[in-house]
């Protein structure tokens, strides 16, 4: 996979969050101070005033000397960890594929959706009431199934219509902080809960932009499916201004990788997984290098031309794909517990998973910071969702979540862990008061894929979805 370039790290002052910026970000956008933690002059970083997903502290209050990990800051950071390494490893395959087939033909495409809802006055989810806003009526296209014929339940055209219909609803909800609408657009589960909690951290915004982003293209990755529940992945490219804070530069647009699921024939399609990605440094957008075959090759000769499916893997991996998440969780846990990689590992040295593991080791298990002793347990939890795909080369990929169960205890000279009245010290869901222990569950969204000789991962934002304390 090549050598992973180090990223600048920002850590929440309470030791909960870290935020990674690419190496090209050499200094504070306002004063030029080096980005090895928060700008010493107190200026905020790119992409808005990001906050710790657990305690709500501003990223601009971070302490550069604290390497402790727990949870990613809110999605305004548009984390790019891992994409550079992954792109370099598959660039040749992508170029070959694009030379053979037109890109839009693979995935299916759509134009900018019409009739986007007008932006109304924003509502403000709060710690005590994280669900705020008006109910949204899902359009008929979000209930769609593929036409009967060859027996396949999802096609490219169906998937494009669903993703296209969901986009304006989601964007409207984001810029108006309408977590009620988000709760209906997203599938039930930890991801939805964590996403809504991140909106309620500061009670002001779900996004750093106030005008909906304009959808430019939709590309879909559709497995062959004959039974419920159903799923597909949509890659959406959007344009629009995402402002920086403290005079920092704005970014222009993003891509989102969204996995839609449909529980039954009468239920709507909903978003169950989402990665937000900013533009590459050269101004291009990242594209997953999935494998494709047309309807005839997939065994559906009666489907219209232009229907493409993600085929079954043709290459075997070193472990079953159902064990991918468990392998990554064990790998990260070993780094956290022992301070180094396992002696025998499927993940390459200097790869993305390795770099993240090394970061975990910088704050070993039991690390004490500002009166809090932190313990972490990484594990796989299939209940959080696992979706299977095939990448170019025929190798299997799984997208899902790693469960991070963290516990904080008071450490001398601190007697208790204190949650302030504004719920900023330990997160919106935890009531104010003093606690002898605080327990947090977080999901780390990842896609794990085979590289032939081992495994690698690409990751997105993480979301704390459950937190409680004991007195």
| Predicted local distance difference test score (pLDDT) of residue 28 | 43
Task: Kindly give the confidence (pLDDT) of every residue in the chain, 471 residues in length, as a single tens digit, with 9 standing for 90 and above.
Answer: 333 333 334 444 333 433 444 333 444 444 444 433 333 333 333 323 444 444 444 444 443 333 332 222 222 232 333 333 333 343 333 333 333 343 333 334 333 333 445 555 556 777 778 888 888 899 999 999 877 667 889 999 999 999 999 999 999 999 888 999 999 999 999 999 999 988 877 656 788 888 999 999 999 999 999 999 999 999 999 999 887 654 556 778 888 899 999 999 999 999 999 988 766 667 676 667 789 999 999 989 888 888 999 999 998 888 999 999 999 999 999 999 999 999 889 999 988 889 889 988 988 898 888 788 989 999 999 999 999 999 888 999 999 999 999 999 998 877 899 988 877 788 778 889 999 999 999 999 999 988 878 999 888 778 889 999 998
In angstroms, the CA 456 to CA 450 distance is: 6
Q: Using CB atoms within 10 Å of the CB of residue 323, give its burial: 0 to 12 exposed, 13 to 18 middle, 19+ buried.
A: middle
Phi-psi region of 279 (alpha: psi -120 to 50; beta: other; left: phi over 0): beta
Backbone φ, ψ for residue 321 (5° rounding)? -60, -25
Q: Which two tokens stand for residue 51?
A: 């906050």
In angstroms, the CA 418 to CA 371 distance is: 10
Q: Which residues pair with 276 in a beta bridge?
A: 256
Q: Which two tokens stand for residue 117?
A: 């809802």
Q: Which two tokens stand for residue 111?
A: 């134009």
Is the sign of the CA dihedral 419, 422, 425, 430 positive or negative?
positive
Backbone φ, ψ for residue 323 (5° rounding)? -105, 5
pTM given for the model:
0.76
- Alpha-carbon Rg for the chain, nearest whole angstrom, is 22
Peptide bond into 413 cis (omega under 30): yes
* Spacing of C-alpha 281 from chain mean position: 20
| Predicted local distance difference test score (pLDDT) of residue 375 | 92
Distances in Å between the alpha carbon of 127 and those of 189, 196, 201, 312?
19, 10, 7, 44
Neighbours of 249 (CB within 10 A): 12
Three-state DSSP at 90 gives: helix
CB contact burial 32-71 (16+ within 10 A = b; e otherwise): ebebebbbeeebbbbbbbbbbbbbbbbbbebbbebbbbbb
């Amino acid at each position: 996979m090549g050598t992973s370039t180090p990223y600048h790290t920002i850590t929440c002052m309470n030791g909960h969050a870290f935020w990674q910026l690419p190496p090209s970000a050499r200094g504070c956008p306002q004063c030029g101070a080096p980005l090895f933690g928060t700008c010493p002059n107190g200026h905020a970083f790119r992409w808005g005033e990001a906050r710790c997903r657990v305690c709500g502290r501003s990223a601009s209050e971070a302490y550069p000397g604290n390497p402790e990990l727990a949870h990613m800051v809110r999605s305004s950071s548009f984390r790019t960890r891992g994409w550079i390494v992954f792109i370099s490893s598959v660039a040749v395959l992508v170029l070959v594929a694009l030379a053979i087939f037109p890109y839009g033909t693979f995935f299916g495409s759509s134009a900018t959706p019409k009739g986007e809802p007008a932006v109304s006055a924003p509502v403000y989810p709060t710690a005590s009431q994280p669900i705020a806003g008006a109910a949204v009526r899902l359009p008929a296209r979000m209930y769609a199934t593929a036409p009967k014929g060859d027996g396949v339940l999802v096609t490219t055209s169906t998937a494009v219509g669903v993703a296209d219909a969901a986009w304006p609803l989601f964007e409207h909800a984001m810029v108006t902080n309408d977590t009620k609408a988000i709760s209906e657009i997203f599938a039930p589960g930890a991801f939805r809960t964590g996403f809504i909690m991140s909106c309620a951290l500061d009670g002001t915004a779900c996004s750093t932009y106030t005008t909906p982003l304009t959808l430019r293209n939709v590309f879909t990755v559709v497995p062959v499916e004959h039974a419920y529940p159903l799923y597909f992945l949509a890659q959406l490219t959007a344009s629009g201004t995402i402002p920086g804070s403290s005079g920092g530069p704005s970014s222009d647009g993003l891509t989102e990788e969204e996995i839609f699921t449909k529980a039954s024939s009468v239920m709507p399609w909903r978003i169950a997984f989402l990665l937000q990605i900013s533009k590459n440094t050269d101004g291009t957008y990242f594209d997953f290098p999935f494998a494709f075959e047309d309807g005839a090759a997939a065994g559906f000769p009666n489907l219209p031309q232009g229907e493409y499916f993600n085929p079954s893997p043709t290459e075997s991996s070193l472990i079953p794909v159902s064990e991918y998440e468990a392998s990554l969780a064990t790998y990260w846990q070993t780094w956290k517990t022992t301070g180094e990689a396992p002696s025998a590992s499927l993940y390459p040295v200097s790869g993305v998973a390795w770099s993240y593991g090394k970061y975990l080791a910088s704050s070993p298990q039991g690390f004490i910071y500002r009166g809090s002793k932190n313990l972490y347990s990484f594990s796989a939890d299939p209940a959080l969702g696992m979706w299977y795909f095939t990448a170019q080369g025929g190798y299997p990929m799984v997208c899902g979540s790693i469960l991070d169960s963290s516990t904080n205890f008071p450490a001398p000279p601190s007697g208790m862990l204190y949650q302030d009245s504004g719920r900023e010290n330990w997160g919106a869901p935890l009531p104010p008061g003093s606690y002898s222990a605080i327990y947090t569950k977080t999901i780390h969204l990842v896609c794990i894929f085979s590289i032939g000789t081992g495994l690698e991962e690409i990751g997105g934002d993480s979301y704390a979805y459950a937190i409680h304390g004991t007195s």
